[in-house]
Amino acid sequence: MPSVFKHINLTTLSFVALATAAHAERGSQGDLNLFYWQAPTLLNPYLASGPKDSEPASLVLEPLARHDETGKMVPWLAQAIPTLDNGGISPDLQSITWTLKSGIKWSDGTDFTANDVVFTANYCMDADSGCQMTAKFTDVEQVVALDAQTVKISFSKPKPYPYAPFVGLEVPVLQAAQFADCMGANALNCSAQNLAPIGTGPYQITDFKPGDVVTYDINPFYRDADKPGFAKVTVKGGGDASGAARAVLETGEFDYAWNLQLDPQVLAQMKSAGKGQVVSSFGTAVERLQVNLTNSAADLGDARSTRDGGAHPFLADPRVTEALSLAIDRSTLIDIAYGDAGHPTCDVLAAPAIYASGANDACLTQDLDAARALLDEAGWTDSDGNGIRDKDGVSMTLLYQTSVNPVRQTTQDLLKAWWAEIGVATELRAIAPSVFFGGDQSSPDTYQKFYADLEMFTNFFPGNDPEPYLNNWACAAIPTPENGWSGMNVPRYCDPDYDALLAKLGNTVEIDERIAISKQLNDMLMQAGALIPLVHRGEVSAHANSLEGVRMNVWDSELWNIADWTRAK
Amino acid sequence: MTDLTFLSAPSSGFWRRFQRHKGAVIGGSLLVLVLLAVLIGPFLWPHAAGQINLTARNLGPSLSHPIGTDHLGRDLFAAILQGGRVTLLVGVVAMALSVLIGAAVGILAGMVRWLDAPLMRLTDLFLALPVLPLLLVTIMLWRDSLRALFGAEAGIFLLIVAMIGLTSWMQTARILRAEVLALKKREFVIAATALGLRPWGLIRRHILPNVMGVIIVSATLGLANAIITESALSFLGLGFPPDHPTWGRLLFDGTEYLTLTPARAIWPGLMITLTVLCANYLGDGLRDALDPRSFNGRK
């Protein structure tokens, strides 16, 4: 039986083989300087606002299991990944039992036990705590310690993929003794704890100035006597992506810089200084156009961009969105705007590779004639001779919005030019990212309200199970005024067949069948024209040439293996 | 008609005084040159602004592209000319609006005693308003309705011009009120009133010509201020749509490429600085030339 669990078990073994590689002495490598230009403000991932906080925290706090750079799960504080075969997952799929490594100590010298895991789960599941990671504990009924080394997590319904709690950088284990007074509504008031959590990781926090700098030294009780290599680590924040890239690639002031989405030529020019190299890694992130299938006309008032307001005058026709997609030269777009950090894609579920459908790859090649023919066939012709197609008095003019970002504005300019060639006019709008992604109910410019015809941003899913991601396009996930514009079904796509197939996916355990259903769901979305995928995007970071051991990881913290990093001699 | 002497009869005197201010002459001529270039330039220049040419990306200066091209092969000189049109049009129209409101409020407050206090408190109120946040809020509130009425570009143009005009008239109003109050005490005004001249006639024939200098100076300074505000808005990524270049927007886009193609940021920045500087020098020179008190002081 090829099951998802067996698959993981094999990779566990391969990791153990890798981890036993010879290593230098603890603390012999000097100082390490990291540049996180979006400065960390809080080092408790449960209250954090994103990777800018949880990545610096990952030097200290550790989960039971992590994902390695290939996206496979590796045990971290646990002895092994629980599976059906090793009895870690109950046959009814309603519970998972983790066995912890023995002899692990917190950086204050006390023992790490199953009680810490139970405490952390209760800490986050408390309704008053303001925990940002509650989605990771969906359907968790209770977490109990069977003994000092064993934790059992029970679910209220069968979970074919039970690896959400305590897997990955967002959900590490907190020390029960330190956070005991921080339960519920007190969570946010515990600033001393939230700014300097005690952890089991290779480093401990010595000083933290929120929004500026974090300094670490070695955790004296770290489990591996030879690691970590670097004696001191500094994470510096502030500035912008280009400044961070320059500090590593051109001036060599820093050893590592994170999140460098820059013009590929700018990056290449910095790289030519010869001080460092650019690393990129592809996760599940896909830059896509969201197609508004509903009418966004301003005169509809409250029914604007809702299904009550009716279908979009032309984008609801899949032939039109197919034509728009065919008019895009994705390879040229990537050459100019993304460089090595992008691959062309026609699937919104483009990774992990086993889930990529490939059934929609016709759009990879630009074909303006085919696009024009599709629009002609749909009845859209230039009847008044102004260069813009129209039908029944409606002109094919698109309002295309995205966030302010040089790469996105370049994409907007290029797409506008290509669409002009097939007779579609485009009006561009760029919105400040803090507004566009801010979710402010009173702003008309949020991506959820979608008061436009097309909008562009990237979305991805953590880990390697696409089910929660595909749930984004269920009818129930449509943002509406009634639900406070929450939900990720931005195209307002609603198909009962899609919902039925999603439900089937939720009850399927067989990995091959899960893959087949996931591909089918992706194809349904593509054929309905709800989304136009553009680029499978990689994360880009840079590190100094002298830094060794970096295994760029998009599935977990980029600093996941920092204990193995060394300085080239 | 003693009051009109320095405007009508010895206008040669005005010119003579103006020409003595070298900065004003140079600034004025450069400003006229810039205006002519952006008005006529786009018709003469072979490249259209915004025309993408993927074979000519990130070029340095050459004969066909005197200040190079951007990362999509668009000619920068064409973008500067086209962007200057919008920037200067915003500047001129917003300045006109601001001067109009400022003059009306200032003269009314000076002439009509019972309007003085309420109008001056209104001026204080507007002075206390932070301009940029106010602009951001109004852009968010009214952008869509104006876009539906006038189209995307005209709508945002009206909005920006109206907001800059409405938030920059206060200095003019205050200075004018003071001037009018001083003028009202002068003998020729008292005489005109005694002769039965109606208030409107008084304003038209005696007050306006005497405060014209102040108004012109306010106008040149207002032009500079409006250009700066529009550039700041565009630099913040607000204002005009991203494919509709203004100098501020070009500067904002160019900062990302400062090391690769510095010309993309330097030229728009230079144009903003140059225009604002010229307008300021021109205002300086006009003030000196129009101020009768500086007549004897200058050599």
Tens digit of pLDDT per residue, chain B (299 long)?
Answer: 444 444 444 456 778 888 888 888 999 999 999 999 999 988 888 888 888 888 888 888 888 888 888 888 888 999 999 989 988 999 999 999 999 999 999 999 988 889 999 999 999 999 988 877 887 788 778 877 888 888 778 888 888 888 888 888 999 999 999 989 998 888 888 898 888 888 888 888 888 888 888 888 888 888 888 888 888 877 666 778 878 888 888 888 888 788 888 888 899 999 999 998 998 888 888 878 876 555 444 43
Interface membership of A269 toward B (CB under 8 Å): yes
Buried b or exposed e, range A231-256, using 16+ CB within 10 angstroms: bbbbbbbeeebbebbbbbbbebebbb
Q: Does B236 touch chain A (CB under 8 A)?
A: yes
Average confidence (pLDDT) over A112-118? 94
Residue type, A85: D
Amino acid, single-letter form, for residue A182: C
What is the reported pLDDT for A9? Answer: 42
Instruction: For chain A, say whether B142 makes contact (Cβ under 8 Å).
Output: no
Predicted pLDDT at B209: 82
- Residue A531 burial (CB count, 10 A): 23
Mean pLDDT score of chain A: 88
- B210-B211-B212-B213 Cα dihedral, nearest 10 degrees: 100
A263:B242 CB<8 A: no
Enumerate residues 6+ apart whose C-beta is below 8 A from A452: A292, A296, A399, A400, A401, A429
- Residue of chain A whose alpha carbon sits nearest to that of B240: A429
Report the C-alpha gap between A440 and A446 in whole angstroms.
7
Q: What is the pLDDT of residues A142-179, one digit of tens each?
A: 999 999 999 999 999 888 888 889 998 889 999 999 99
Q: Is A348 exposed, middle or buried (0-12, 13-18, 19+ CB in 10 A)?
A: buried
For residue A524, is pLDDT > 60? yes
CB contact under 8 A, B72 and A410: yes
What pLDDT, on the 0 to 100 scale, is given for residue A494?
93
In this predicted model, what pLDDT tens digit does every residue of A542-561 receive, in sequence order?
999 999 999 988 888 999 99
What per-residue confidence (pLDDT) applies to B11? Answer: 56
CA distance B239 to B160: 7
Q: In chain A, pLDDT over 90 holds for what percent of residues? A: 52
Hey, CA dihedral for B247, B251, B253, B254, is it positive or negative? positive
- What backbone torsions phi and psi does residue A200 show, to the nearest 5 degrees? -105, -5
Residues 104-133 of B with CB under 8 A from A: none
Cis? peptide before A344, omega within 30° of 0? no
- Burial label, B8 (beta-carbon count in 10 A; 0-12, 13-18, 19+): exposed
Question: Is the alpha carbon torsion for A359, A360, A364, A368 positive or negative?
Answer: positive
Q: Is A273 on the interface with B (CB under 8 A)?
A: no
Q: Which of A409, A414, A427 sits opposite B52 (nearest CB)?
A: A414
Q: Identify the pLDDT of residue B2.
A: 44
Question: Which of B54, B57, B241 has the CB atom closest to A428's CB atom?
Answer: B241
DSSP state of A233: E
The secondary element (H helix, E strand) that includes residue B108 is helix B76-111
Specify the DSSP element, H or E, that contains B207.
none
Amino acid sitting at position B154: A
- Reduce the DSSP state of residue A118 to 3 states and report it: helix
Chain A CB within 8 Å of residue B186 CB: no
* Beta bridge partners of residue A257, listed in sequence order: A35, A542
The DSSP code sequence of A422-473 is: TT-EEEEEEE-HHHHTT--TT-TT-TTT--SSEEEEEE--SSS--HHHHGGG
At B59 the pLDDT is: 82
Assign A72 a pLDDT band (cuts: 50, 70, 90). confident
Answer whether B241 sits within 8 Å of A262, measured CB to CB.
Answer: no
Contacts of A451 in chain B (CB under 8 A): 144
DSSP B18-53: HHH-HHHHHHHHHHHHHHHHHHHHHHH-SSPTT---
Mean pLDDT score, A104-123: 93
How near does any CA of chain B get to the CA of A312, in Å? Answer: 17
Is A95 in contact with A155 (CB distance < 8 Å)?
A: yes
Q: What is the pLDDT of residue B292?
A: 59
A442-472 pLDDT per residue, tens? 888 889 899 999 999 988 887 778 888 898 8
Partner residues linked to A208 by β-bridges: A214
* Neighbour count for residue A185 (Cβ, 10 Å): 12
Find chain B residues with C-beta within 8 A of A428's C-beta.
241-243
Q: What is the DSSP letter of B218?
A: H
Q: Residue A94: helix, strand or coil by DSSP?
A: coil
Distance CA B98, CA B103 (A): 8
State the number of CA atoms in the 13 A half-sphere of B21 facing the CB: 25
Q: What amino acid occupies position A520?
A: Q
Task: Give the DSSP H or E segment for A271.
Answer: helix A264-271
B154: contact with A, CB 8 A cutoff: no
- Does residue A182 surpass a pLDDT of 60? yes
Three-state DSSP at B223 gives: helix
Euclidean distance between CA atoms B295 and B299, whole angstroms? 9
What are the DSSP calls for A61-83, one per residue? ---SEEE-TTS-EEESSBSS---
Question: What's the mean pLDDT in A4-24?
Answer: 43
Say what the pLDDT of residue B293 is: 57
Distance CA A368, CA A328 (A): 8
Residue in B closest to A242 by C-alpha: B256
Chain A: closest CA distance from residue B73 (Å): 11
pLDDT at B15: 82
Which H/E stretch holds residue A145?
Answer: strand A140-147
Residue A136 has pLDDT above 80, yes or no: yes
pLDDT value at position B34?
93
Contact B140 A242 (CB under 8 A): no
Structure-token pair, residue B134: 């106010």
Q: Give the integer Cα–Cα distance in Å for A10 and A504.
A: 28
* Tens digit of each residue's pLDDT (9 = 90 or more) over A257-290: 988 878 888 888 899 988 999 998 888 889 999 9
Report whether A478 contacts A486 (CB < 8 A). no
**Closest residue on chain B to A261 (Cα):** B256
pTM value surpassing 0.80: no
Neighboring chain B residues of A445 at a CB cutoff of 8 Å: 140
Q: Say yes or no: B257 contacts chain A, CB-CB below 8 A.
A: yes
Give the chain A residue nearest B254 (alpha carbons).
A406
Show Cβ contacts of residue A516 under 8 Å, excluding neighbours closer than 6 positions: none
**Residue of B51, B58, B72, B249 to mutate for A, most A C-beta atoms under 10 A:** B72
Region A173-201 average pLDDT? 90
Torsion of CA A254, A257, A260, A266, to 10 degrees: 20
Contacts A434 to B, Cβ<8 Å: none
pLDDT in tens, A377-435: 999 999 888 889 999 889 999 999 998 888 898 999 999 999 999 999 999 988 887 78
Mean pLDDT over A172-197 rounds to 90
